[in-house]
Amino acid sequence: MNFNLSNGASRIIVSNAIYGVDQSSQWSLWSSVDDGLVWLKVANVNCTKHTLYKDTIYANISGKVRFEIRHSSLNTSRINIDDLYIEDFDTTASQDYHLTLGNPSNAQTDIAFPDNYLLAKDQYILSYNSSKGIPNWVGWHMSSAWHGSAPRKDAFKADATLPTSFIRIKPSDYTNSVFDRGHMCPSEDRDLTTTDNLQTFLMTNMIPQAPNCNQQTWRYLEQYCQTTAQNGKELYIYSGGIGSGGSGSKGLFTTIANGKVVVPQFLWKVIVVLPNGPYDLNRITADTKVIAVKVPNMNFVTGINWSQYRVSVDKIESLTGLNFLADVDDSIEDVLEAQVP
């Protein structure tokens, strides 16, 4: 290719086959972002079929780029390169599937599993624990495409989509409990429409949170995510609680609402940050930014410095039994989850 593509390239599809009666061979795709001065290998492809076959390569390169296909085998077998399709790299913010990176507990929408029951909303997806009256985890995608000007509704409400055999927590179950109704998916993450915002006030999205922690340190972490999303990034976020025994404004409690709602000892959040773009799962590398925090659910937690509570994703997994980033390539997942800030 002796010319540049101005809109980058996300996905490249190459129709190829072994030529005639030649033997299997290999070709490689190379890219250059400086008019062909320096070339970097994008992928190696084994060519093993005599009939045309479409190989898909995710280049995920933004801006100016050109490509080159090279024969990369030691043998002299010929290769038939036919159609070449290159898809632009679109950096427009989008609303994507909340569990693109995986379902941490393999939750199912099955009443036989009341303590790992999958609830899928348009705005977020969660695993509900009926025995604890709180979610095991809530997962959601965040980008500027979710942002708008809908006002905060503060309309806390029991979740009527839960099976009738499950414990349905009401807003009044938190009244006089000295704990906040703590959002997992924040109200401000879903303000594109009134409907979006209302969904964040369902009680299945709540965990009892120490007021100071919720209104200060935890809130600053939420604001960090929102600011990041407004600056050309998209985030995949999971959030939940660990253990039991948190302190509100009047001391330590393990449960509220006559034992129906467990008060976690810690709050946790796992955040994966990517530049806006398509095919998110294929764009995650060992250098992708991942943040994990484990914050004491205690009223002494105050201030702006949420980063002092950073841990590895592996640490959160060991404490919760959950499996994050399950759909990410294993070799990449292992690196990202082991990182300790």
pLDDT digits (tens, 9 = 90+) for 119-141: 999 999 999 999 999 999 999 99
Question: Could you read off the pLDDT of 304-328 as tens digits, one per residue?
Answer: 999 999 999 999 999 999 999 999 9
Asked whether residue 102 carries a pLDDT value surpassing 80, the answer given is: yes
Determine the Cα angle at 277 with ends 333 and 97, to 5°. 65
Share of the chain above pLDDT 70, in %: 100
Helix axes 313-320, 330-338, angle to 10 degrees: 90
Q: Which residues are catalytic?
A: 183
Extents of the domains making up the chain: 9-86, 117-338
Residues 208, 195: Cα–Cα separation, whole Å: 24
Compute the mean pLDDT over every residue in the chain, rounded to the nearest whole number. 97
Q: How many CB atoms lie within 10 A of CB 172?
A: 11
* The pLDDT of residue 93 is above 80: yes
Domain 9-86 CATH assignment equals 2.10.25: no
Would you give the DSSP letter of residue 185? S
Q: Flag whether pLDDT at 160 surpasses 90.
A: yes
pLDDT of 340 reads 82
Best CATH choice for the domain 117-338 from the list 3.40.50.1970, 3.30.460.10, 3.40.570.10, 3.40.190.10 = 3.40.570.10
Give 318: exposed, middle or buried? Use CB within 10 Å, 0-12, 13-18, 19+: exposed
pLDDT value of position 249: 84
SS3 state of residue 309? helix
Given a cut of 90, whether residue 43 has pLDDT beyond it is yes
Torsional class of 331: left (φ above 0), alpha (ψ -120 to 50), beta (otherwise): alpha
Dump strand ranges (E) for the chain.
Answer: 9-18, 25-32, 40-47, 53-61, 66-71, 79-86, 117-120, 125-129, 134-142, 180-183, 206-209, 233-242, 246-248, 251-253, 255-256, 261-262, 266-275, 289-296, 310-311
* DSSP-derived secondary structure letter, 118: E
At residue 341, does pLDDT exceed 80?
no
Q: For the residues 131-152, what does the mean pLDDT come to?
A: 98
Mean pLDDT within 15-41 = 97
Query: How much is the pTM?
Result: 0.92
8: left (phi over 0), alpha (psi -120 to 50) or beta: left
Question: pLDDT (tens digit, 9 = 90+) per residue, 238-290?
Answer: 999 999 999 988 999 999 999 999 999 999 999 999 999 999 999 999 999 99
150-160: average pLDDT: 97
- pLDDT at residue 237 in the model: 99
**pLDDT beyond 80 at 89:** yes
